[in-house]
Structure 1
């Protein structure tokens, strides 16, 4: 599993249980803006709201989504990205209570060496 870091992403959706959010990352390349959505899964309720801007890191997960048809009638497939065991970092737009880490962390990555998959 790879570790992903998302900086200043916007919370676009909060699930009913309060343990998951969807965030939007926007990048610009060649004069076009590209949007990437990530589902982020916490072990406990996170206290975030739609519109909050957050920075986080965690384990990246990906799976093939259901096929869909675009405007031109072409069948397309998407990839659903998720972030598991996230850690919030930096300032957020709303007060957040993230689960506290109970282990020593490596200063370089913020993860215990036994957590890193390589």
Structure 2
């Protein structure tokens, strides 16, 4: 994923992460969290679910610092491992992860990721 900044620097970012589970279609499930991303980057452990998602993305991205962002954002060659999935307390099943981003108070984009969690047993 590559996000090109049209008017840097970006100083105010809001991020929302929502999880869905497939039950005759994808239904909201367990998490719907919105945070001030700049504040999160200054103290990431304040938001445990966001911290888990960010830890999975961090090694593959270039947004590992606090605001302002004066450069394009990229996530490159990301692969989810069993270790990353096992940290999230969910039962086996099919999930959708929706990540929405806003800058300067305007929703700019969203990313959907579809996952199958199969831990071999039901938690």
TM-score range, shorter chain: under 0.3
TM-score by length of 1: 0.25
Q: By percentage of residues, which structure has more strand?
A: 1
Structure possessing the higher relative contact order (Cα contacts under 8 Å, 6 or more residues apart): 2
Bigger radius of gyration among the two: 1
Q: By percentage of residues, which structure has more helix?
A: 2
